[in-house]
Amino acid sequence: MNYIKLIKYIKKTKRNILNIIAASLAVCALTVFLSSCESIIAPVGDTKLPPAEGASGSVFESENVTAPPETEPPENNESGENEEKETEPESPESAPTSDSAAEAPDTSGDSPFGETHVEEEHLFGNYTPPTTEAETQSPPQPTYSPSYPASTNGTAPLALMYHLILDEPTSSLTNLFVRPSELEGHIQALLEAGYTFIFADEYDYYDTKTVIMSFDDGYVDNYTEMFPIIKKYNVKVTVFMIAGYIGGDGYMTRDMLREMSDSGLVSIQSHTESHPGLTSLSADSLRYEFDASRRELEEITGRKVRAVCYPSGRYNDTVLSVASEYYDFGYTTVSTTSTAGYPILALPRLRVNRGFSKSYFASMIP
């Protein structure tokens, strides 16, 4: 009798153990399922974390810059088309000539300026140099001589890059044609945000709430459209003039440059002599581009030229090293909202495109 009872007891216990194992397995399966759900959800939360400190994070802010303004959808299509169109036709290898004529747009007759470099400028000014070109260093941390201080305190000036200020684009590169009314909106937004306008050669990385508004190439509309606006608001801007293009079709004359400079509101700084791709030049050619342009502009304005803007944002260690012989400050086309963490000979500038409304612009600036 006792033996039978014992057998029954063992069987019962076995059933209980099996039940416990089954229950445990179920719990395990549930845990695995839940953790897999978490792993799907988790990355979304991670992306909301602020980027790691250091200069590299800021480069990727350029994504915000390329995002077309939400407020004006028609411009989005326009600019989107241009982006694609411009990146198609040329490979980076096709540009290393030092002759600006070779950079003439293939949209023949489209530009009123004849041989202009803006196609190339736009093509290569897109935040990151072409990776296929080994000689082009990827900002923000070039490996050249460390003797130039880099801003690290996080409060450095904001620099902005413009080209043309016109209502009606005269080439297919519509992004470059910021409307006069838009420029006015940007100035208003900056003033309302408490910014002080400084020249490119007044850069000081300990500044807070200062802005360097710069205009590349020296198109004639800078005189006819931009100059009246900045006088209206009494703000300081910088023109990076291609010295060899002065007086050329579509570009400002010596008299225009002198008048702007004499106003005390426009600083004329160098954008080289002939706007070549600097990374393909010899040191001697670089010296010519930097020195001749500086002398010519100083002769016109009677003021020091201490800042240079690299054509199409292309530079490498050699370019920076030679530039340091002539200039105190260098500006690139790396697009980001703060110059903090960048060397003063390779300072980034936020690219401002056509269609950036006042409110959109205000949302972009720190």
The single residue among 61, 103, 119, 216 that binds Zn ion, judged by CB under 5 A, is 216
Query: Least Å distance between CB 327 and Zn ion?
Result: 16
Q: From 102-110, 113-121, 249-257, 346-354, give the range in contact with Zn ion by CB under 5 A.
A: 113-121
With respect to Zn ion, which residue has the nearer C-beta, 207 or 349? 349
CB 330 within 8 A of CB 313: no
Which stretch in 98-106, 116-124, 177-185, 259-267 sits in contact with Zn ion by CB under 5 A?
Answer: 116-124
- List the interface residues with Zn ion, window 44-103 (CB under 5 A): none
Q: Which is nearer to Zn ion, 119 or 133 (CB)?
A: 119
In angstroms, the first-to-last Cα distance of the chain is 88
List C-alpha distances in Å: 176 to 93, 140, 172: 24, 24, 9
Least spacing, CB of residue 274 vs Zn ion, in Å: 11
Of the pair 185, 271, the CB lying nearest Zn ion is at: 271
Phi, psi of 175 (to 5 degrees): -55, -35
* Total of residues contacting Zn ion (CB under 5 A): 4
Task: Tell me how far the alpha carbon of residue 69 is from its chain's centroid.
Answer: 16
**Closest CB to Zn ion among residues 121, 289:** 121
Of these, 121, 133, 221, 273, which contacts Zn ion (CB under 5 A)?
121
| Closest approach of Zn ion to the CB of residue 38, in Å | 50
Question: CA of 348: how far to CAs of 141, 284, 333, in Å?
Answer: 12, 26, 6
Alpha helices in 88-179 (DSSP H): 118-124
Measured from the CB of residue 241, what is the shortest distance to Zn ion in angstroms?
10
* Residue 231 C-beta: closest distance to Zn ion, Å: 24
Tokens of 237: 């801007």
* Region from 171-179, 209-217, 226-234, 330-338 binding Zn ion, contact rule CB under 5 A: 209-217
* Three-state secondary-structure class, residue 153: coil
Q: Residue 114 has what DSSP assignment?
A: S
Q: Which residue type sits at 254?
A: R
By beta-carbon proximity to Zn ion, the closer residue of 189 and 252 is 252
Catalogue the E-assigned strands of the chain.
158-162, 164-165, 177-178, 196-197, 210-217, 237-241, 266-270, 307-309, 329-331, 350-351
| Close Cβ partners of 297 (under 8 Å, ≥ 6 residues apart) | 241, 243, 257, 268, 269, 270, 305
Torsion sign (Cα): 306, 96, 252, 297: positive
Tokens 């200020």 sit at which residue? 165
**Least Å from the CB of residue 152 to Zn ion:** 29
CB atoms inside a 10 Å sphere around CB 330: 25
Smaller CB distance to Zn ion: residue 120 or 225?
A: 120
Residue with smaller CB distance to Zn ion, 121 or 207: 121
- How far apart CA 42 and CA 31 sit, in angstroms, is 16
The Cα angle at residue 277 between residues 276 and 278, in degrees rounded to 5: 95
- Mark the segment that binds Zn ion (CB under 5 A) among 169-177, 179-187, 214-222, 227-235: 214-222
- What is the DSSP track for 222-269? IIIIIHHHHHHHT--EEEEE-GGGTTSTTB--HHHHHHHHHTTSEEEE
Residues 292-311 that bind Zn ion (CB under 5 A): 311
Per-residue mark of binding to Zn ion, 139-178 (x: CB under 5 A): ----------------------------------------
What minimum distance in Å lies between the beta carbon of 275 and Zn ion? 6
Report the residue number whose CB is nearest to Zn ion.
216
Minimum separation from the CB atom of position 237 to Zn ion (A): 16
Is residue 217 at the binding interface for Zn ion, with CB under 5 A as the rule? Answer: yes
Distance CA 23, CA 29 (A): 10
Q: Which is nearer to Zn ion, 117 or 179 (CB)?
A: 117
For Zn ion, the closer of residues 210 and 269 by Cβ is: 269
CB of 302 to Zn ion, least distance (A): 24
Q: Which residue, 121 or 296, is less far from Zn ion as judged by CB? A: 121
Helix, strand, or coil here: 318? helix
| Residue 252 C-beta: closest distance to Zn ion, Å | 14
- Contacting residues toward Zn ion, per CB under 5 A: 121, 216-217, 311
